[in-house]
């Protein structure tokens, strides 16, 4: 397998989001210079050189571990570099904004404990260790094409093959969190993803999840959970997801 080539892209806040940390005025209340680019969109464009080099193999059996270390603001140019499996996403100033690793293949992860679970009557204020209520959604070719345009994805294979973009799949994992937990402004901080198969659209998608840990990171409340994304009945992605689900403005 060829090594992924260095890749530049411009980070964007692509739409008005329910998560107001992606708006200037709210982000500044928490000490940021402006609206944060969503982690899921940084993840989406970080996958571009991996798919360019490794194609369907990576989308079916590869992995990526990505941690968001520094804020990224709308319009910033970033450079993705993968060297000996180590992955960095750096700004034009050389400061590393995201850090992780990637492989074109990986051992298939266990899926135990990630099964259909009933949805609560309403989202909870604080998650607890245990299952999340499952999420179900229809994903279409048109939605995928909108997403490709919005993030500026240059690879044609998603349109040609009608494959769901990895970022669109990871968005479902965020939706699993927001459908189970009553969120204000929050921050996605890391995702460790194993790909299990290509999702061809249109498809009915299901996401099952389980909270593995709830605690504090600095002054913020943090949740970690595992999620399994299925297209039809077929698993396509397993994720260990980390988020600061409640932010504090205290110094």
pLDDT of residue 18: 80
Which residues face 78 on adjacent strands?
Answer: 9, 91
In a domain, 90, yes or no: yes
Position 2 scores a pLDDT of 84
Give the C-alpha separation, 159 to 73, whole Å: 28
Which single residue is written with the structure tokens 């699993």? Answer: 176
Residue 1 resides in a domain: no
Tokens 């050389």 sit on residue:
94
- Sign of the C-alpha dihedral, residues 91, 237, 128, 26? positive
Domain membership of residue 251 (yes or no) is no
Q: Is 54 a member of any domain? A: yes
Percentages helix, strand, coil for the chain (3-state, rounded to 5) are 25, 40, 35
Give the predicted TM-score (pTM) of the model.
0.96
Contacts for 61 with CB less than 8 Å, ≥ 6 apart? 105, 106, 108, 195, 196
Examine residue 2 and state whether it is found in any structural domain, yes or no. Answer: no
Q: How far apart are CA 78 and CA 75, in angstroms?
A: 9
Residue 196 located in a structural domain: yes
Rounded distance between C-alpha atoms, residue 52 and residue 227, angstroms: 26
Question: How many domains in the chain?
Answer: 1
Euclidean distance between CA atoms 166 and 2, whole angstroms = 20
Residue 15, pLDDT score: 77
CATH of the domain at 176: 3.10.129.10
Please give the residue range of the domain that contains residue 102: 7-246
Q: DSSP letter at 148?
A: H
Of 128, 221, 212, 209, the closest CA to residue 175 belongs to 209
Can you list the positions of beta strands (E) in the chain? 7-10, 63-68, 77-83, 86-91, 96-103, 130-139, 187-195, 203-217, 220-231, 234-246
User: Is 47 a domain residue?
Assistant: yes
**pLDDT tens-place values along the chain, 251 residues long:** 788 999 999 999 987 668 889 999 999 999 999 999 999 999 999 999 999 999 999 999 999 999 999 999 999 999 999 999 999 999 999 999 999 999 999 999 999 999 999 999 999 999 999 999 999 999 999 999 999 999 999 999 999 999 999 999 999 999 999 999 999 999 999 999 999 999 999 999 999 999 999 999 999 999 999 999 999 999 999 999 999 999 998 76
């Amino acid at each position: 397998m060829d090594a992924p080539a260095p890749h530049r892209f411009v980070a964007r806040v692509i739409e008005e989001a329910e998560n107001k940390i992606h708006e200037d005025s709210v982000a500044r209340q928490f000490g940021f210079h402006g609206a944060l680019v969503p982690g899921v969109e940084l993840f989406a464009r970080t996958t571009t050189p991996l798919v360019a080099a490794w194609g369907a193999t990576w989308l079916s059996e590869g992995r990526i571990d990505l941690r968001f270390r520094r804020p990224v603001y709308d319009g910033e140019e970033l450079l993705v570099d993968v060297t000996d499996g180590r992955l960095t996403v750096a700004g034009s100033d050389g400061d590393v904004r995201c850090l992780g690793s990637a492989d074109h293949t990986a051992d298939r992860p266990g899926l135990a404990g990630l099964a259909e679970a009933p949805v609560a009557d309403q989202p909870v204020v604080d998650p607890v260790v245990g299952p999340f209520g499952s999420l179900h959604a229809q994903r279409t070719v048109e939605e995928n094409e909108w997403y490709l345009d919005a993030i500026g994805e240059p690879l044609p294979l998603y349109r040609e093959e009608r494959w769901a973009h990895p970022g669109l799949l990871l968005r479902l994992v965020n939706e699993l969190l927001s459908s189970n937990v009553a969120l204000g402004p929050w921050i996605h901080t890391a995702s460790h993803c194993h790909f299990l198969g290509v999702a061809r659209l249109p498809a009915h998608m299901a996401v099952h999840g389980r909270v593995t840990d709830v605690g504090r990171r600095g002054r913020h409340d943090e949740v970690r959970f595992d999620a399994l994304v299925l297209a039809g009945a077929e698993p396509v992605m397993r994720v260990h997801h980390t988020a600061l689900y409640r932010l504090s403005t205290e110094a």
